[in-house]
C-alpha cells in the first residue's frame, strides 16, 4: 500500500515505495548476506525446479537461486520497479549462471504468468509493502502460479526485533509503536511475525516458520555500518520530527565521528521471519 509516509523513509524508486532503491537494497543484502542465504537454504528448493523470485529487486538473490536449482532448473524474477527489473536483467546477462534466468517488470498483485507455471516461489523483503488485503491477494496470485505440491516461501524483516546500543533498549520500539499507530509502512513492518498465519489463510498446507535474529557486533563490518547508519538516519529524522526521545539526534548523521554504531560496544539487530507453505492438490 503506497502511503504518504514512504517519502519520509527515503530511498524510493519510481514505485514511490521507501527503501526500494537499489543502493539501499544492495547495501542491506551485503550486510545480511550470510543469514539471508541461510534462510534461503531452508526454504526447500531443489535442483531442476523452476522458481519465481517474486519481488527480486536489483537481483541479489537471483544467482543464489540459480545455483540452488542448478543446470536443469530455471529462475524467473519480477519486480514492480522498472529500474530494478532492468538492473537485475542487466546483471543476469553479466553473471555466469548455471541455468536460464529471466527478469521482467511486474507486480505481485497481477502476475503475468499462467496457472501452475512454477515449482516454487521465493518472496523476500517484499510483502512489507502490502496491506493485509493486498497481502492476501498477492498470496492468492502466488498460489495460482505455483503448481499443486509446490512451495511458496516468504521472508521479511521483523521490525519488532530491531535494537541498538549504545542506546536505550526501548528506543527503536518506541519509534515503531508511534509510527505504526496509523496504517502505513511501519505497521506493515511490525506484522511480519504473523506471516505463517497469512499463509495458512491463503490455503497453503504444512506451513512452517523460522524466526532469526540477525546481530552485528562492534566493530561492525563495512557493509553493516554502511546500511545501518543510513537506515537509522531515516528513522532518526522521522523520530526527531515526531518529537520522540532526543537520543535519536545521535543517529541522524551517518558520518558523525561519534556515531553510536562506531562505539566500542556497538551492537544492532533486526529480526527476520521465513514462512513456508505448500500449494494443496485439488
Residue 82: per-residue pLDDT: 97
Query: HSE on the CB side for 190, CA within 13 Å?
Result: 16
Residue 204: per-residue pLDDT: 98
Domain residue limits, the chain: 6-278
pTM for this one? 0.96
C-alpha cell of residue 173: 520500539
Strands 146-165 and 267-278 come out as antiparallel
Instruction: Tell me the C-alpha distance between 164 and 175, whole Å.
Output: 13
Alpha carbon 40 to chain centroid, angstroms: 12
Q: Select from 121, 155, 189, 140 the least CA-distant residue to 29.
A: 155
Q: At the top level of CATH, which class does the domain 6-278 belong to?
A: alpha beta
CB 234 within 8 A of CB 188: no
Per-residue model confidence as pLDDT tens for the chain (282 residues): 556 678 889 999 999 999 999 999 999 999 999 999 999 999 999 999 999 999 999 999 999 999 999 999 999 999 999 999 999 999 999 999 999 999 999 999 999 999 999 999 999 999 999 999 999 999 999 999 999 999 999 999 999 999 999 999 999 999 999 999 989 999 999 999 999 999 999 999 999 999 999 999 999 999 999 999 999 999 999 999 999 999 999 999 999 999 999 999 999 999 999 999 999 997
Instruction: Tell me the C-alpha distance between 153 and 119, whole Å.
Output: 12
Residue 11: per-residue pLDDT: 93
Q: Select from 53, 54, 98 the least CA-distant residue to 73.
A: 98
Residue 279: per-residue pLDDT: 98
C-alpha cell of residue 110: 497481477
C-alpha cell of residue 276: 513456508
Residue 132: per-residue pLDDT: 96
Residue 1: per-residue pLDDT: 57
Tell the residue number behind the cell numbers 548523521, with chain if given.
Answer: 253
Q: Select from 206, 223, 218 the least CA-distant residue to 261.
A: 218
User: Could you give the angle at which helices 82-94 and 62-69 cross, rounded to 10 degrees?
Assistant: 50
Q: Which residues pair with 267 in a beta bridge?
A: 165, 217
Amino acid at each position: 500500500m503506497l502511503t504518504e509516509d514512504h517519502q519520509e523513509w527515503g530511498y524510493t524508486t519510481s514505485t514511490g515505495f521507501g527503501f526500494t532503491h537499489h543502493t539501499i537494497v544492495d547495501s542491506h543484502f551485503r550486510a545480511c548476506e550470510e543469514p539471508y542465504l541461510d534462510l534461503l537454504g531452508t526454504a526447500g528448493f531443489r535442483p531442476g525446479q523452476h522458481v519465481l523470485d517474486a519481488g527480486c529487486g536489483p537481483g541479489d538473490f537471483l544467482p543464489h537461486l540459480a545455483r540452488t536449482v542448478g543446470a536443469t532448473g530455471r529462475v524467473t524474477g519480477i519486480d514492480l520497479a522498472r529500474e530494478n527489473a532492468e538492473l537485475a536483467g542487466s546483471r543476469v546477462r553479466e553473471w555466469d549462471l548455471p541455468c536460464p534466468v529471466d527478469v521482467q517488470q511486474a507486480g505481485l498483485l497481477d502476475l503475468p504468468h499462467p496457472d501452475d507455471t512454477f515449482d516454487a516461489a521465493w518472496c523476500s523483503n517484499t510483502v512489507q509493502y502490502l496491506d493485509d488485503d493486498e497481502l492476501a491477494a498477492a498470496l492468492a496470485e502466488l498460489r495460482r502460479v505455483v503448481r499443486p505440491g509446490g512451495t511458496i516461501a516468504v521472508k521479511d524483516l521483523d521490525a519488532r526485533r530491531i535494537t541498538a546500543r549504545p542506546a536505550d533498549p526501548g528506543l527503536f520500539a518506541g519509534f515503531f509503536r508511534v509510527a505504526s499507530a496509523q496504517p502505513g509502512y511501519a505497521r506493515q513492518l511490525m506484522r511480519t511475525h504473523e506471516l505463517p498465519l497469512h499463509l495458512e489463510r491463503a490455503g497453503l498446507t504444512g506451513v512452517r516458520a523460522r524466526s532469526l535474529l540477525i546481530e552485528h557486533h562492534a566493530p561492525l563490518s563495512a557493509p553493516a555500518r554502511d546500511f545501518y547508519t543510513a537506515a537509522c538516519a531515516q528513522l532518526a529524522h522521522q523520530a526527531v520530527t515526531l518529537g520522540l526521545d532526543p537520543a535519536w539526534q545521535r543517529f541522524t548523521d551517518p558520518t558523525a565521528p561519534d556515531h553510536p554504531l562506531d562505539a566500542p560496544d556497538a551492537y544492532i539487530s533486526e529480526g527476520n521471519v521465513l514462512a513456508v507453505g505448500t500449494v494443496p492438490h485439488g
